[in-house]
Amino acid sequence: MKDEPKKELTSETQNITGHSRRDILKLGGFATLGALFGSTYSVPVYASTKISSNNKSYDEPLDIVFAVYNGGTLLDFAGPSEIFHRLPNTTVRYASLHGGTVNLEFGVEYGNTERLTDIMKTDLIMVPGGSDLREAMSQEYLSQIRRLATGARHITSVCNGSLALAAAGVLKGKRSACHWAFVNKLAEYGAIPVEERFVEDDDGRFMSGGGVTAGIDFALRVAEKLKGTSNAELTQLVIEYDPAPPFNSGNPRSAPPEVLAMINKKLPGATQGLARVPGVK
């Protein structure tokens, strides 16, 4: 008897979009992946057509505004941006006080932002954190955040961006996450500090992520709530978010004593959640 030929799983197995790997290679590799899964300029077609939902609200248009500023941290909004851009029927915008280019942490320039004053309303506003919050804590910036938050269905932040929301008076009596080094500063603005990677209040009207990398977890949780579990899981797969950190030192609860001593020297008050950055009194 002859052995049955084995199936070529590596080349013909259908992926979640219904296209084989061979098809993708024929059509241009990574360029095709961009077309299939969406990019800044296109709706992720397969996320919206292949995945059905019993909840019609998942198909409603979603407008998201990242309120960026000079001194902000790129990864705080780059991670969530990667996820939000891939959700069906979702528009992602970037706005700053004066529009144009903002100068982020480490000299990174991020350009072509809209002016906050030109945005009349948004479904979801997101305030990222930063190493310098002087602009983010200015009355000019806070007044725009307060204005947009009033009409937004969802008010969100990543890292110490929640301090700006709190300073704007938006988080009074609300539970919120923050970077572990600054989380207890929230209480000084009337918010309720919560040392978790993702926090929500008022059935998701307020959603926040902890420090920097928590922005990806945060965004996936937001995606699940607003666009359904399947769309969130598909996006996680597309970006291959499968973390396996090489060290167990990402939080004071797990970091070794010698590392904690180093951070306390570098950022006094950090392990008590009371570290300060420029702009925060």
Q: List the catalytic residues.
A: 159
- The radius of gyration of the chain from alpha carbons, rounded to an integer in Å, stands at 21
CB burial of 260-270 (b: ≥16 within 10 Å; e: otherwise) equals eeebbeeeeeb
State the DSSP H helix or E strand holding residue 176, giving kind and residue range, or none if neither.
strand 175-176
The sign one gets for the Cα dihedral 44, 233, 196, 257 is: negative
φ, ψ of residue 245 in degrees (nearest 5): -60, 140
Residue 130 is classified by DSSP as: B
The three-state secondary structure class of 47 is helix
> Please, what is the end-to-end C-alpha distance for the chain in angstroms?
81
Give alpha helix (H) positions in 85-177. 139-151, 161-167
